[in-house]
Amino acid sequence: MKRYSRTGLRIGTYGPIVLLLLALISALVPALIAAPEGHVLPGNASFLVQLWLGHGRILLPLLLFNAALILFGWRHYRALRAQIADRARAAARARTLAMRDPLTGFHNRRSLAESGAELLAHAAHRGRAMAMLLLDVDHFKNVNDIHGHAVGDGLLRSIAAEIARLAPPGAVMARLGGDEFACAFEIAHDDAAAAHAVAEGVVARLSQPLKADGTLVHTSISLGISISAPDCDTVDQLLRRADIAMYAAKQRGRNGVSWFDSSMEKALQKRSELESKMRQGIPAGEFEPYFEQQVDLATGRLSGFEVLARWNHPMLGHIPPTQFIPVAEETGLIGDLSFSVIRQALIEAREWDPELSISINLSPLQMRDPWLAQKLVKLLVETSFPGHRLEIEITETGLFDNLPLAQSIVGSLKNQGIRLALDDFGTGYSSLAHLRALPFDRIKIDKSFILSLLDNPESAAIVNAIARLGDNLSLPVTAEGVERADIENRLREIGVNKGQGWLYGHPMPISQVRRLLAERQLLPLSASGAAARQRG
Ligand code: C2E
Ligand code: CA
Ligand code: CA
């Protein structure tokens, strides 16, 4: 482009003079040709005058024609010059668009690779290191869902402005897409503390409310850090490590800083292996429902079962739900997994005594699925399971991020006669406001309080308080984790309605439930026949 403009400048300065000379020459040449022999010396002025007098009629139009040519050439040249400038501007704009994120003005992922590599090379040349911070906004989707996209965009702009303000001079900042940002800067080789201080500063600032399109938004970020090293000397590797560290920051409860370490990489690998095994295992029916008895504390009568997912992998054996449920949630497999287990449970339980209820666990992530109610109702129809026998257990976690959606889901389910229990009560916010935001039918006290009921006065106080709360709100209370008879007695005294736990039996597979129900005459004839066949 520079070459063009220099040539243009030269043409611009000398062009008119050259053209004028050309015109004069072209006017004189025909005259000289027309001069008589021996009178061709241009210095002879009288000859020129004679020439003018003699051939003026021809020369004048020639001169005029040349002047017109000059004008035409000049205008053409000006238009060409403007066109070249336009093209140069468009090319520069296209280059900026290709390099920059239009929303924040930060680098985009591609140009971070280039600028980051330059910074990395510069740092290495000076015997220094490069720190890479990777930031992800916690629950950014909720901001869009609740406040709309204009506020979401405004929030991203405000976050970018704060990162730019807090980053050290010379830092390369990028938006990697969505709500993910990167910030790379030089540090002294042994000065991890400097990088940490920047990271802590950014996390602290972004946990304060931010102005976004005229709205004050409360948010937080999770941040991962990596530092260049002999085995990590490209932008790609730094980003990958920072990403793994950021994921660990999310796992640790978000709103924090996490440094990369190699154990994280191994954990990630294990997790992705688990994910691929789950992808095969769900359609193969490897996940099955186990049933945990729920007992009426006043009468000792079996009132129903909680369904708990179990995974018996053909090679790895038994994998506990505390391991596979979080992976299913992160990978979006929780819906398929959950429905596969619930379907099996309902098909089985429809054969049991109609007095027996079935409680299923729904992940907070499933409560963000706008089609959840429809899917559940469809499943009830397909399995011919009556809605009034079904209870859904949900925890407070994440439930109130999108309360209107949760309320609409719950409304549709309650129309089918399905009941709603607040699970793990006492471990989350456990606020009265939360309890009243949705039409719960039951509170379940988390097992951590029940297990220590007799040894820990605080647990006893909490269990007592929850029982009173349930009393006042007319919500029956279930205690989970009842392992001993003395705890059961105490719960009965406190006024807790139902209990479940190892005192009554461990969660069991379908075949074992059938045997138990057959013994207690809680299986209608057709099903007890099947149970008897299984026993035999
Ligand atoms: P949760 O819903 O609180 O389930 C109760 C957990 O306590 C179960 O663990 C159960 O086996 C265990 N438990 C029951 N009685 C006792 C007892 O007396 N003592 C002790 N120490 N533990 C007892 P599990 O089956 O390992 O499930 C763990 C968690 O995994 C569940 O906690 C639930 O949050 C989740 N989960 C299990 N199955 C599903 C499922 O199908 N869907 C979803 N979304 N989550 C599930
Ligand atoms: Ca539960
Ligand atoms: Ca629990």
User: pLDDT for 279-323, tens place per residue?
Assistant: 999 999 999 999 999 999 999 999 999 999 999 999 999 999 999
User: pLDDT for 398-435, tens place per residue?
Assistant: 777 788 999 999 999 999 999 999 999 988 776 777 78
Helix (H) or strand (E) holding 121: helix 109-125
Q: Is residue 480 within 8 Å of residue 447, measured between CB atoms?
A: yes
Q: What whole-number percentage of the chain has pLDDT above 90?
A: 74
Structure tokens of 60?
């004048």
Considering the domain architecture, whether residues 116 and 95 belong to the same structural domain is answered as no
User: pLDDT for 19-72, tens place per residue?
Assistant: 556 656 655 655 555 555 545 445 555 656 666 666 666 777 788 888 888 888
Q: Is residue 250 within 8 Å of residue 222, measured between CB atoms?
A: yes
Q: Tell me, in angstroms, the distance from the centre of ligand 3 to residue 292's CA.
A: 13
Q: Which of 36-40, 502-506, 526-530 has the lowest mean pLDDT?
A: 36-40
Question: Residue of the nearest CA to atom 24 in ligand 1?
Answer: 321
Q: How confident is the model at residue 1 (pLDDT cuts 50, 70, 90)?
A: very low
Q: Is residue 308 within 8 Å of residue 289, measured between CB atoms?
A: yes
CA atoms within 13 A on the CB side of 186: 16
- Reported in sequence order, the residue ranges of 209-337 that DSSP labels E, i.e. its strands, are 210-212, 215-217, 221-227, 257-259, 287-296, 302-313, 317-319
CA-nearest of 309, 298, 315, 311 to 477 is 298
| 290 domain-assigned | no
Closest ligand 1 atom to residue 503 Cα is 18
Considering the domain architecture, whether residues 235 and 132 belong to the same structural domain is answered as yes
Mean pLDDT of 249-259: 93
| 181 domain-assigned | yes
Of the three residues 260, 293, 312, the one that is the final residue of a domain is 260
pLDDT of residue 2: 38
Q: Kindly write down the DSSP assignment for every residue of 161-202, as one continuous string.
A: HHHHHHSPTT-EEEEEETTEEEEEEEE-TT-HHHHHHHHHHH
* DSSP assigned state of 430: -
Mean pLDDT of 438-462: 96
Considering the domain architecture, whether residues 171 and 223 belong to the same structural domain is answered as yes
Of the three residues 198, 233, 260, the one that is the final residue of a domain is 260
Structure tokens of 10?
């030269």
Mean pLDDT of 240-244: 96
* DSSP assigned state of 479: E
User: At residue 484, does pLDDT exceed 60?
Assistant: yes
Structure tokens of 283?
């359609």
Q: Tell me, in angstroms, the distance from the centre of ligand 1 to residue 395's CA.
A: 12
What is the number of the ligand closest to the CA of 292? 1
Q: What whole-number percentage of the chain has pLDDT above 70?
A: 87
Q: Tell me, in angstroms, the distance from the centre of ligand 2 to residue 75's CA.
A: 83
Query: What is the domain range of residue 219?
Result: 109-260
User: pLDDT for 362-374, tens place per residue?
Assistant: 999 999 899 999 9
Mean pLDDT of 9-28: 57
Burial of residue 8 (number of CB atoms within 10 Å: 0-12, 13-18, 19+): middle
What is the number of the ligand closest to the CA of 362? 1
Name all residues whose Cβ lies below 6 A of ligand 1: 292, 308-309, 320-322, 325, 338, 341, 361-363, 423-424, 447, 480-483, 501-502, 507
Q: Tell me, in angstroms, the distance from the centre of ligand 2 to residue 198's CA.
A: 41
Number of domains in the chain: 2
Closest ligand 1 atom to residue 329 Cα is 44
Question: Residue of the nearest CA to atom 14 in ligand 1?
Answer: 501
Mean pLDDT of all residues belonging to the chain: 89
Considering the domain architecture, whether residues 151 and 177 belong to the same structural domain is answered as yes
pLDDT of residue 45: 59
User: pLDDT for 67-114, tens place per residue?
Assistant: 888 888 899 999 999 999 999 888 887 777 788 999 999 999 999 999
* Residue from 444, 446, 478, 480 whose mutation best tests the ligand 1 pocket (most atoms within 8 A of CB): 480
Strands across the sheet containing 129-137? 172-177, 180-187, 129-137, 221-227, 257-259
Residue with tokens 């013994």: 519
Considering the domain architecture, whether residues 54 and 91 belong to the same structural domain is answered as yes
| 447 domain-assigned | no
Considering the domain architecture, whether residues 92 and 139 belong to the same structural domain is answered as no
Which CATH number belongs to the domain containing residue 226 in this structure? 3.30.70.270
Phi–psi pair at 499, nearest 5 degrees? -135, 155
Q: Tell me, in angstroms, the distance from the centre of ligand 2 to residue 280's CA.
A: 26
SS3 (DSSP) at 516: helix
- Taking the C-alpha atoms of residue 299 and residue 355, their distance in angstroms, rounded to an integer, is 15
Helix (H) or strand (E) holding 336: helix 334-349
pLDDT of residue 450: 98
Considering the domain architecture, whether residues 75 and 134 belong to the same structural domain is answered as no
Considering the domain architecture, whether residues 94 and 223 belong to the same structural domain is answered as no
Closest ligand 1 atom to residue 366 Cα is 44
| 270 domain-assigned | no
- Taking the C-alpha atoms of residue 255 and residue 185, their distance in angstroms, rounded to an integer, is 22
Question: Residue of the nearest CA to atom 21 in ligand 1?
Answer: 481
SS3 (DSSP) at 102: coil
Q: Provide the β-strand partners of residue 393.
A: 361, 421
Closest ligand 1 atom to residue 424 Cα is 3
- Taking the C-alpha atoms of residue 478 and residue 480, their distance in angstroms, rounded to an integer, is 7
| 6 domain-assigned | yes
CA-nearest of 120, 118, 257 to 187 is 120
Q: Tell me, in angstroms, the distance from the centre of ligand 2 to residue 395's CA.
A: 8
Residue with tokens 């009554």: 504
Q: Is residue 91 within 8 Å of residue 1, measured between CB atoms?
A: yes
User: pLDDT for 332-386, tens place per residue?
Assistant: 999 999 999 999 999 999 999 999 999 999 999 999 899 999 999 999 999 999 9
- Any residues with CB less than 8 A from the CB of 334 and at least 6 apart, and which? 325, 328, 363, 365, 366
**Could you tell me which residue, 59 or 136, shows the higher pLDDT?**
136
| 229 domain-assigned | yes
**Could you tell me which residue, 148 or 526, shows the higher pLDDT?**
148
Q: Tell me, in angstroms, the distance from the centre of ligand 2 to residue 446's CA.
A: 9
* 3-state SS record for 358-389: EEEECCCCHHHCCCHHHHHHHHHHHHCCCHHH
Mean pLDDT of 262-279: 93
Considering the domain architecture, whether residues 209 and 254 belong to the same structural domain is answered as yes
Q: Is residue 531 within 8 Å of residue 518, measured between CB atoms?
A: yes
Q: How confident is the model at residue 161 (pLDDT cuts 50, 70, 90)?
A: very high
Of the three residues 203, 238, 260, the one that is the final residue of a domain is 260
- Taking the C-alpha atoms of residue 410 and residue 433, their distance in angstroms, rounded to an integer, is 17
Q: Is residue 524 within 8 Å of residue 353, measured between CB atoms?
A: yes
Considering the domain architecture, whether residues 62 and 125 belong to the same structural domain is answered as no
Considering the domain architecture, whether residues 62 and 181 belong to the same structural domain is answered as no
- Taking the C-alpha atoms of residue 227 and residue 245, their distance in angstroms, rounded to an integer, is 11
Considering the domain architecture, whether residues 84 and 160 belong to the same structural domain is answered as no
CA-nearest of 235, 259, 251 to 120 is 235
Q: What is the pTM of this model?
A: 0.71
Helix (H) or strand (E) holding 490: helix 485-494
Q: Tell me, in angstroms, the distance from the centre of ligand 3 to residue 284's CA.
A: 28
Residue with tokens 């002879």: 44
| 465 domain-assigned | no
Closest ligand 1 atom to residue 320 Cα is 26
- Taking the C-alpha atoms of residue 263 and residue 276, their distance in angstroms, rounded to an integer, is 20
| 504 domain-assigned | no
